[in-house]
Chain A
């Protein structure tokens, strides 16, 4: 049996690394007596599967973790809504359980199935007109070459086909509502926010790569990155790996502030 958790990483804990988070989850699962399956081997490891790694310093409303349950101890697994509360108490402030549910047997892994991510990048000092014109230019371009180091060699990729949507909002505030980020464009806050959906197959496009394309002269300081969604594309559109009800989000925003 496999269960899936959706969780946040907001506030001070945004400075945790992917590896730190993995260790925090291992301890939280031990503390809450979740009957996790262990790998066979010299050093047995709990069988946990994290989705796409999130950079140190980035926040998220949409992190996912799949947990394999020991088939011989499934009866020891607490009801999932109870477990969500217990896990919340065992996790640091800002890492909050937003949703929990069983995974349909035979489903592909998160890494394989997620096709794009929604991002928001808030710039406290970026004038909205500058952000808007950069977005317009990017959307009008037929290709957006981005160069990065891979195994010691410079590789140039075209980011344009991976850019599913792009928008500039005025005010350096991340969209709050999970269902409709576009509707909550902040009012008179200073700065700008870039909201984008970036593809993850065959290779994840990072928000920093998008910023490098939008701002080739690297003059935009201190963008704060937050992952809003992970999406799985299918024939009729797209869906989230696990939908979070709106209520816990507001709580997280308060606790993390």
Chain B
């Protein structure tokens, strides 16, 4: 393998933001390419700015490079101007670490966190000079893998990806390397590709789609069956039982150019059992595994010192739920780098909706108190019971009042529309909540504003809503229009919404099956890359491809599924029992809530019991304040005090 940097350099002088292709980040490895090492190329199929901060990719990058039998580099989707230059000059996709051709690695492993990047995956494989269809690849081509949340229904990509990985990657990536080492040492002979995939299929959590047959009866799937007796009938996800064993990334990459989430990120726990029924992440990442608080402090202190960042985010699906969050935050704010010389701000990317949480936010965001974001998700209490996001209106108003009274000028509220059983009254409830929040704000500041951000609901696999027929584009647009009319003349309320056409395509891929592979290939060949970028998204390409393949959008997206229908992901498992999900779906339709099992008895969803693991939480007591699924008496209501932490303020002004 040799670097293509000399040929690439004049090309980079002609493209936008060339710094995203040079690597050289602090924390970047200088991998050795001894021929005995298994060479992984870890790819994020979106721009560098979006892909670089991805923690999953960075964790695997470090774990692989720490092994003495593997080496790992990174690559990201080149923007359209560089793609055109690469195709014009005949240069391949390359790694950013040492600028080696992607096709010369043993493995191209993709991180898939959103459906709309699927066509970018095809494009990256093609730019590497590798056949896009797995069946056309030869022994000399890299194996193509994918992991990440979208692989819980990987079927639309089954034609293009050699193997998928379900769940946490920390352990399985080493087990895969063990298998690949033997294959590489044997010289990748003719026919060995099938052999190594067969071996990989025996590694728990690894799914090799070409080893399964899908039987159809008309449009319906009858069965998904393994082709060989040694291939598992059902692929179970991988779960790291103790996050404390994996203090990664140890050397978070510090990019030289601007990216999203450009700050130190420390994952404080994985998994969430709030049980929000629309939320796939909360369902597939169970159980809750907290990182020990002392390890969190150590990772923050060392990370701040090593990177020079002035901001740290404590990441998880709901960071205010971390046991003893107040103490941890107070310690970080009090002495961020262990030396106390420079101002550091702390951010909690997912705020719970209650005044207690605002209290924490108040303490840590002294320097940049501009906007605060909450996600009530639905406009009425009934609707929130359906989706099991049990926030009372008093909680929301208490949180918003606390925010405005503490100096925030803007509050952003996230909502979903197109939820199961949603009526126009529920939809319009969004406008009413936003209006009341804005008027609370105007009691404190003239220019207080509330932004209501509306997303169309996409039912996801392994959630209780996986059986629900998604709203049509017309229906979602009608609901958006209702809200637009209802908020038009309301002072201080801004409405933003996600394009319902993009929501349609997300829904198509989210619950699609293998027959959509041909659709993806058509859309990609017609130039449909970067579909999550509105300037590149075009619904017509998708509709034309569906029509050309004789497939019905309505059948895939808008149809309600029945209890015994074989779902395209029936042979995969996130540990959740199907009867648990079905019962939760029935409960949803009855507007019956379900408490958080972290602090209440187990109701055997399967995520712990099936794998012999448990929640790892430092405190068995629900956090103070708010009713959001904590099992508190939600009928009582009442005042939630804002508690301010004692701690040194984050600096404002010179020292």
Per-residue 0/1 for B630-655: is the Cβ within 8 Å of any A Cβ (1 yes, 0 no)? 00000000000000000000011111
| A37 contacts the other chain (CB 8 A) | yes
Q: Is the CB of A44 within 8 A of B26?
A: no
Q: Is the CB of A24 within 8 A of B343?
A: no
Which A53-91 residues sit within 8 Å CB-CB of chain B? 56-57, 70, 72-73, 76, 90
Q: Is the CB of A12 within 8 A of B310?
A: no
Separation of A70 and B653 alpha carbons in the complex (Å): 12
| Chain A, residue nearest B257 (CB) | A20
Residues of B within 8 A of A253 (CB): none
Q: Is the CB of A17 within 8 A of B257?
A: yes
Q: Is the CB of A38 within 8 A of B655?
A: yes
Separation of A29 and B341 alpha carbons in the complex (Å): 11
Q: Is the CB of B652 within 8 A of A30?
A: no
Residues of B within 8 A of A72 (CB): 655
- Interface secondary structure of B, over-half rule: loop
On whether A40 and B257 interact (CB within 8 A), knowing A15-B21, A93-B24, the answer reads no
On whether A20 and B258 interact (CB within 8 A), knowing A15-B19, A38-B655, A44-B651, the answer reads yes
Separation of A94 and B23 alpha carbons in the complex (Å): 12
Residues of B within 8 A of A24 (CB): 256
Partner of B309, one of A19, A27, A42, A94: A27
Q: Is the CB of A31 within 8 A of B22?
A: no
| B607 contacts the other chain (CB 8 A) | no
Partner of A222, one of B13, B19, B256: B13
| Chain B, residue nearest A26 (CB) | B308
Which A32-50 residues sit within 8 Å CB-CB of chain B? 33, 35, 37-44
Separation of A41 and B13 alpha carbons in the complex (Å): 38
Separation of A224 and B13 alpha carbons in the complex (Å): 9
Q: What is the CB-to-nearest-CB distance from B244 to chain A, in angstroms, rounded to a whole number? A: 27
Q: Is the CB of A17 within 8 A of B24?
A: no
On whether A20 and B19 interact (CB within 8 A), knowing A31-B305, A43-B367, the answer reads yes
Separation of A29 and B307 alpha carbons in the complex (Å): 11
Partner of B306, one of A31, A38, A40: A31
Per-residue 0/1 for B9-23: is the Cβ within 8 Å of any A Cβ (1 yes, 0 no)? 010110001110111
Separation of A23 and B26 alpha carbons in the complex (Å): 13
Q: Is the CB of B10 within 8 A of A222?
A: yes
Separation of A26 and B311 alpha carbons in the complex (Å): 13
On whether A12 and B22 interact (CB within 8 A), knowing A70-B655, A73-B655, the answer reads yes
| Chain B, residue nearest A23 (CB) | B258
Q: Is the CB of A44 within 8 A of B343?
A: yes
Q: Is the CB of A56 within 8 A of B19?
A: yes
Residues of A within 8 A of B341 (CB): 33, 35, 76
| A134 contacts the other chain (CB 8 A) | no
| A3 contacts the other chain (CB 8 A) | no
Q: Is the CB of B654 within 8 A of A39?
A: yes
| A110 contacts the other chain (CB 8 A) | no
Separation of A50 and B87 alpha carbons in the complex (Å): 38
| Chain B, residue nearest A30 (CB) | B308
| A16 contacts the other chain (CB 8 A) | yes
Residues of B within 8 A of A38 (CB): 343, 651, 653-655
Residues of A within 8 A of B12 (CB): 15, 57
| Chain A, residue nearest B651 (CB) | A44
Q: Is the CB of A15 within 8 A of B310?
A: no
Q: Is the CB of A92 within 8 A of B10?
A: no
| Chain B, residue nearest A124 (CB) | B10
| Chain B, residue nearest A21 (CB) | B256
Which B293-330 residues sit within 8 Å CB-CB of chain A? 305-310
Q: Is the CB of A40 within 8 A of B653?
A: yes
Q: Is the CB of A12 within 8 A of B23?
A: yes
Q: Is the CB of B18 within 8 A of A40?
A: no
Q: What is the CB-to-nearest-CB distance from B210 to chain A, in angstroms, rounded to a whole number? A: 39
Which B324-356 residues sit within 8 Å CB-CB of chain A? 339, 341-343
| A190 contacts the other chain (CB 8 A) | no
Q: Is the CB of B19 within 8 A of A31?
A: no
| A13 contacts the other chain (CB 8 A) | yes
Q: Is the CB of A27 within 8 A of B13?
A: no
Q: What is the CB-to-nearest-CB distance from B595 to chain A, in angstroms, rounded to a whole number? A: 42
Residues of B within 8 A of A93 (CB): 24
Partner of A44, one of B13, B309, B654: B654
Q: Is the CB of B339 within 8 A of A33?
A: yes
Q: What is the CB-to-nearest-CB distance from B362 to chain A, in angstroms, rounded to a whole number? A: 16
Residues of B within 8 A of A16 (CB): 19, 22, 256-257
Separation of A56 and B10 alpha carbons in the complex (Å): 13
Residues of A within 8 A of B651 (CB): 38, 44
Q: Is the CB of B308 within 8 A of A28?
A: yes
Separation of A59 and B652 alpha carbons in the complex (Å): 36
Separation of A19 and B17 alpha carbons in the complex (Å): 12
| Chain B, residue nearest A33 (CB) | B341
| B88 contacts the other chain (CB 8 A) | no
Which A202-230 residues sit within 8 Å CB-CB of chain B? 222, 224
Separation of A29 and B22 alpha carbons in the complex (Å): 23
| B180 contacts the other chain (CB 8 A) | no
Residues of B within 8 A of A57 (CB): 12-13, 18
Q: What is the CB-to-nearest-CB distance from A121 to chain B, in angstroms, rounded to a whole number? A: 13
| Chain A, residue nearest B653 (CB) | A40
Separation of A234 and B503 alpha carbons in the complex (Å): 66
Separation of A23 and B258 alpha carbons in the complex (Å): 9
| B489 contacts the other chain (CB 8 A) | no
Q: Is the CB of A27 within 8 A of B654?
A: no
Separation of A42 and B341 alpha carbons in the complex (Å): 19
Residues of B within 8 A of A37 (CB): 654
Interface centre among B12, B256, B257, by most A CB within 10 Å? Answer: B256
| B564 contacts the other chain (CB 8 A) | no
Separation of A222 and B341 alpha carbons in the complex (Å): 45
Separation of A93 and B24 alpha carbons in the complex (Å): 7
Which A103-119 residues sit within 8 Å CB-CB of chain B? none
Q: Is the CB of B10 within 8 A of A94?
A: no
Separation of A24 and B307 alpha carbons in the complex (Å): 10
Separation of A111 and B257 alpha carbons in the complex (Å): 24
Q: What is the CB-to-nearest-CB distance from B147 to chain A, in angstroms, rounded to a whole number? A: 29
Interface centre among A40, A43, A73, A92, by most B CB within 10 Å? Answer: A92
| Chain A, residue nearest B367 (CB) | A43
Separation of A94 and B652 alpha carbons in the complex (Å): 34
Interface centre among A15, A27, A94, A222, by most B CB within 10 Å? Answer: A15
Q: What is the CB-to-nearest-CB distance from A171 to chain B, in angstroms, rounded to a whole number? A: 17
Q: Is the CB of A13 within 8 A of B24?
A: yes
Residues of B within 8 A of A43 (CB): 367-368
Q: What is the CB-to-nearest-CB distance from B592 to chain A, in angstroms, rounded to a whole number? A: 47
Q: Is the CB of B19 within 8 A of A17?
A: yes
Separation of A133 and B19 alpha carbons in the complex (Å): 35
Q: Is the CB of A12 within 8 A of B655?
A: no
Residues of A within 8 A of B305 (CB): 31
| B254 contacts the other chain (CB 8 A) | yes
Separation of A28 and B26 alpha carbons in the complex (Å): 10
| Chain B, residue nearest A35 (CB) | B341
Separation of A26 and B24 alpha carbons in the complex (Å): 17
On whether A44 and B22 interact (CB within 8 A), knowing A13-B256, A16-B257, A33-B339, the answer reads no
Q: What is the CB-to-nearest-CB distance from B89 to chain A, in angstroms, rounded to a whole number? A: 12
Q: What is the CB-to-nearest-CB distance from A137 to chain B, in angstroms, rounded to a whole number? A: 26
Residues of A within 8 A of B654 (CB): 37-40, 44, 70
Given contacts A13-B256, A24-B256, A72-B655, 18 further A-B contacts (CB under 8 A): A12-B5, A13-B24, A15-B12, A15-B13, A16-B19, A16-B22, A17-B19, A19-B258, A29-B308, A30-B310, A38-B343, A38-B654, A39-B654, A44-B367, A44-B652, A92-B24, A92-B26, A222-B10
Where the two chains meet, the residues of B that have a C-beta atom closer than 8 Å to any C-beta of A are: 5, 10, 12-13, 17-19, 21-26, 254, 256-258, 305-310, 339, 341-343, 367-368, 651-655
Where the two chains meet, the residues of A that have a C-beta atom closer than 8 Å to any C-beta of B are: 12-13, 15-17, 19-20, 23-24, 26-31, 33, 35, 37-44, 56-57, 70, 72-73, 76, 90, 92-94, 222, 224
A-B CB contact pairs (8 Å), 5 listed: A17-B257, A26-B308, A27-B307, A28-B308, A29-B308
Closest 3 CB pairs of A and B: A27-B308, A15-B18, A31-B308
